[in-house]
Amino acid sequence: SQQGEEDPQALSIQEGENATMNCSYKTSINNLQWYRQNSGRGLVHLILIRSNEREKHSGRLRVTLDTSKKSSSLLITASRAADTASYFCAKMDTGRRALTFGSGTRLQVQP
Amino acid sequence: DAGVIQSPRHEVTEMGQEVTLRCKPISGHDYLFWYRQTMMRGLELLIYFNNNVPIDDSGMPEDRFSAKMPNASFSTLKIQPSEPRDSAVYFCASSGGLNEKLFFGSGTQLSVL
pLDDT of residue B18: 97
Q: Residue B45 is nearest to which of A31, A41, A100, comparing CB atoms?
A: A100
pLDDT in tens, A3-12: 568 889 999 9
CB atoms within 10 A of CB A109: 20
pLDDT in tens, B62-77: 899 999 999 999 999 9
**Which contacts qualify for A92-96: CB closer than 8 Å, 24 or more apart?**
A92/A29, A92/A30, A92/A31, A92/A32, A92/A33, A92/B100, A93/A27, A93/A28, A93/A29, A93/A30, A94/A27, A94/A28, A94/A29, A94/A30, A94/A51, A95/A30, A96/A30, A96/B56
C-alpha dist (Å) from residue B5 to B21, B22, B108: 11, 8, 10
CB A1 within 8 Å of CB A19:
no
Verify whether the Cβ–Cβ distance A92 to B100 is below 8 Å: yes
Q: Which sign does the torsion angle of CA B88, A8, A42, B91 carry?
A: negative
Q: Which residues in chain B have Cβ-Cβ distances shorter than 8 Å to A99? A: 33, 45, 102
Q: Residue A45 is nearest to which of B35, B45, B102, comparing CB atoms?
A: B102
pLDDT in tens, B5-45: 999 999 999 999 999 999 999 999 999 999 999 999 999 99
For residue B31, the distance in angstroms to the closest alpha carbon of chain A comes to 8
pLDDT of residue B61: 87
> Average pLDDT of chain B?
96
pLDDT of residue A53: 97
pLDDT of residue B72: 95
Residues A45 and A28: their CA atoms lie apart, in Å, by 21
Residues B55 and B53: their CA atoms lie apart, in Å, by 6
A100/B contact by beta carbon, under 8 A:
yes
Q: Which residues in chain B have Cβ-Cβ distances shorter than 8 Å to A31? A: 100
List chain A residues with pLDDT less than 70. Answer: 1-4
Q: How confident is the model at residue B1 (pLDDT cuts 50, 70, 90)?
A: low
pLDDT of residue A101: 96
pLDDT of residue A4: 66
pLDDT of residue A1: 41
Average pLDDT over residues B100-111: 97
